[in-house]
Structure 1
Amino acid sequence: MASMNVPVEEFTTPDPVTANEDMAIDELRALMERHGVRHLPVVRGESVVGLVSDREVRVVLGLPLTEINQVRASDIMASDPLTVTATTPLDQVAYAMSENKVGSVIVNDEDGRFLGIFTASDALNALTELVRGGGTPAA
C-alpha cells in the first residue's frame, strides 16, 4: 500500500461546540445532547483551557443532587488536553490518541490558535474515506 501523508486538518471538526469553565453539569449535558457530541473543549477567551468528555459528566451525574449542583466544568475537565497542529499527519495523531487512551485532541493552527477538535469518530470517518480511495498517496 502506498504511504499517505494526510494532515489531521482534513478530518478535523472545525469550530466545534465549546463550553466555559463555569458551566454546570446540567448545562454541559444539555449542550452535548443538543449537538450530539461527546467532547467539549473548554475555552477561556480564545484559548482552550481544558476538555470535558461525556464520561466525566456521567460520573458526576451519579452523585447526590446537592453535590451535582456544585460541580462546574473546571472541576472535571482535563486541564492539559492532547494538542496537535493542523499539519500533523493523521497517522501520528491517531497513534498519539491510542497511546494516551484519549477520544479526542485539540487541533491548533501553526500559531497556536484553536481551529477545532479531532475525535475518534473523525478518525473512523477518515479511515473509511481513505480505505475507499478518497485519500491522496504521498508523492
Structure 2
Amino acid sequence: MKQLIVPVEEFTTPDPVSIEETMALDELLRLMSDEGFRHLPVMRGGELAGIISDRDVRLFAGMPAAERAGLTAADIMTEDLLTIDASTPLDEAALQMSANKVSSLIVREGDEFLGIFTATDALNALVEVLRGVKD
C-alpha cells in the first residue's frame, strides 16, 4: 500500500475559542459545560500561555465552591505545551499524542499559533483517509 502523507494542518481545528488566563474557574466550568469544549487555549497578553483540557477541569470541579473561589485559568492550565509544526504528517502527530498520553497538540507555523489538533480531529482524519483509500 502506498504511504499517504497528509499534513496535520489539514485536520487542525483553526482559531479555536480561547480564554484569558484571568478567567475565574467557575466561569470556565460553565463555558466548557455549556459549549461542550474539551480543550481551551489560554492566552496571556495576546500570546498563547497554556491549555486547559476537560481532564484538568474535572480535577477541580469536585472541590467545594469555597475552595474553588479565587482560582483562575492560570491556576489550572498546563503551561508545558506540546507543539507541532503545521506541516507535520498526521501519523507523526498521532504518535506524539500517543507517546505523551495527551488528547491535543498545539499547531504552529513558525512562531504563529494556528490551532489545536485533538483526538477528535485525529479520528476525523482517520475516517477521511480510510474513505479515500477505499474509493
Q: TM-score of the superposition, structure 2-length normalised?
A: 0.92
Q: Give the structure 1 partner of residue 116 of structure 2.
A: 117
Secondary structure (helix, strand or coil) at the match of 1:117 reads: strand
**Alignment of 1:88 onto 2:88:** yes
Structure 1 runs not aligned, ≥5 long: 135-139
How far did 1:33 drift? Answer: 2.8
Report the secondary structure of 2:59's partner residue: helix
Amino acid at match of 2:90: L
- Residues 19-57 of structure 1: CA distance to partner in whole angstroms, max 9, x if unpaired? 111111222122223432200011123321111011111
- Match of 1:4, SS? coil
Opposite residue 4 of structure 1, the aligned amino acid is L
Shift of 1:5: 1.0
List aligned pairs for 1:13-28, cutoff 5 A: 13-28=13-28
* Alignment partners' CA distance in 1, 2:33 and 2:22: 18
Moved more, 33-42 or 115-124: 33-42
- Residue number in structure 2 paired with 1:128: 127
Using the aligned pairs only, state the percent identity: 56
2:63 maps to 63
RMSD: 1.5
How far apart in 1 are the matches of 2:111 and 2:89?
17
Aligned length: 134
Structure whose residues are more often helix by fraction: 2
Write the distance in 2 (CA, Å) between the matches of 1:119 and 1:27. Answer: 23
Moved over 3 A (4+): none
TM-score (norm 1): 0.90
**Structure 2: runs of 5 or more not aligned:** none
